[in-house]
Amino acid sequence: MVNEDKVCCMCNEHKKFLSRVNTGNNYYCISCIAKINKSGMKYWKPCTDVEFFESMLSHMKKGKNRKSTNMFSSLKEQFEKFENDERDDSKSTD
- Give the nearest distance from C-beta 30 to Zn ion in angstroms: 8
**Closest to 46 (Cα-Cα) out of 67, 71, 21:** 21
Report yes or no: 7 and 27 within 8 Å, Cβ to Cβ: yes
Kindly write out the interface string for residues 20-59 of this chain, putting x where it contacts Zn ion by CB under 5 A and - elsewhere: ---------x--x---------------------------
Distance CA 15, CA 21 (A): 15
**Measured distance between the N- and C-terminal CA atoms of the chain, rounded to whole angstroms:** 63
Q: Which is nearer to Zn ion, 8 or 43 (CB)?
A: 8
How many Å apart are CA 35 and CA 15, to the nearest integer?
15
By the rule CB under 5 A, 10 interacts with Zn ion? yes
Q: Measured from the CB atom, is 30 or 56 closer to Zn ion?
A: 30
Closest distance to Zn ion from the beta carbon of 3 (Å):
12
Q: Dihedrals φ, ψ of 69, to 5°?
A: -75, 165
Q: How far is the CB of 43 from Zn ion (least distance, A)?
A: 13
